[in-house]
Every structure is written in C-alpha cells, then in structure tokens.
Amino acid sequence: MKVGIIGSGVVAQALGAGFLKHGHEVALGTRDSAKLTDWAAKHKGAAVKSFAETAAFGDVVVLAVAGEVALEALKLAGAGGLAGKTVIDATNPIGGGPPVNGVLSYFTPQNESLMERLQKAYPAAHFVKAFNSVGHGQMINPHFAGGRPTMFICGDDADAKKTVAQILDQFGWETEDMGAVEAARAIEPLCRLWCIPGVGKGDWSAHAFKLLR
C-alpha cells in the first residue's frame, strides 16, 4: 500500500525504512526537504513531499512529529487528505516543563490525551494510537529474548485498527487493542515509563513492553 509519513525526524525515518523493507510505497512529508537528503539517498524507493502532498499520497497516513506541533502539522496536511483514512498516531504530548527525577513532563491533563485532541479536530480521519511507547531503534522487527513485544493500540474505528494490527504483525509485534480513543490517556504515558531509564539513568538500551497472561 501507499504510506504517507508526516514528519522528518528519527521516528519518521525509521518507520519509513520499515515500510519500504516490507514492500510498501512510501512518501515522507516535511517542511524542509534538506532534512531528508541523506535519508532519501539511502532509500531510493521513497519520495519526499510536502505535508499536504504526503497526506494525499497515502492510503495510510502516519503522524510522526513532536506532540507540540501535531495539530499544526495536520493543519498543513489538510483535512481533505486525511478524511476517511487510517492515521497512525505515533505522537506523545511531551512538553510543559523539564523532566522531574527522570519523568517527562506532558502538556495534557490526566483525563485527556493528545490523540483525543487530534481526533476531535479531524473527525473524518480514523486515528489509531501506535508506535508511541518504544524507541525508534526497536520499531521494526525487534528481537527480544522474551519473544514478540506488545504494542498497545486504541481508536474508534474497527477497520482502521485492523489495518494497524496487520502492519504491526508484519513489523514483528503482538497487538493489544485497548479500545476507543479515550484509552490513549493510558497508552500515551507508556512513553514516560519507557523513557525513565534513559532520561533518569542514561540507559537507552533496548527494551519494550509485553503483556503476559
């Protein structure tokens, strides 16, 4: 399928490489194409476009920008390019102050998630939370002694979540569907937990979450 990735940072680049690896067509959207010159040279099958062109290109759209600029990025992408599409939301609401004893500060309150804000702003798009609770180095076909890690997802559209689950299976993940968009209130803080060893102790070694039964 065609995948449009809004963003040019390490998460966008890692996911772009992963989709290419598994045979999909990929476009990365950016406001500064120079940021992707080296990446595009290494990934000949990928296109570099504007945010609006990327959204229009994708059968599936991935939002992979800093949480503080997520709404601005979607505005540039345009509601028309997002309408009716699965939008994988890999963002986290990081901001609002410095870390406290290794715990990141978020700009959202406890009973609201960033994805809820995005879904409310673009009701015709089908947002699915995914890829927000692991580092970019482990997003694509990670290898852990304990087997496949778990990616927790949520969203209001069942078909969109099915599409994301298929992608996650291809990328080497187990999927745990936690329900509707409000579940992002619980999933987004997993980034905080994942980052504590790195932010607080300087330990960014590979780790991920797994749900055991």
Radius of gyration of the chain (CA): 16
CA distance 168 to 212: 18
Q: What is the spatial distance between Cα 113 and Cα 204, in angstroms, rounded to a whole number? A: 25
Q: What CATH code would you report for 2-201?
A: 3.40.50.720
Which residues have CB under 8 Å from 148's CB, separation 6+?
Answer: 172, 173, 174, 210
- Look at residue 96 and tell me whether its pLDDT is greater than 90: no
pLDDT, tens only, 4-60: 999 999 999 999 999 999 999 999 999 999 999 999 999 988 999 999 999 999 999
Look-up: residue for tokens 């406290």?
100
Region of residue 71 (phi > 0: left; psi between -120 and 50: alpha; otherwise: beta)? alpha
Domain residue extents for the chain: 2-201
Residue 135 has pLDDT above 90, yes or no: yes
pLDDT at position 205, please?
86
Q: What is the pLDDT of residues 71-95, one digit of tens each?
A: 999 999 999 999 999 999 999 999 9
Helix, strand or coil, per DSSP, at residue 66: coil
pLDDT of residue 42: 95
Residue 75: its pLDDT value, please?
Answer: 98
At 162 the pLDDT is 98
Per residue in 145-154, pLDDT (tens digit) is 999 999 999 9
Write the pLDDT tens digit of every residue in 187-197.
999 999 999 99
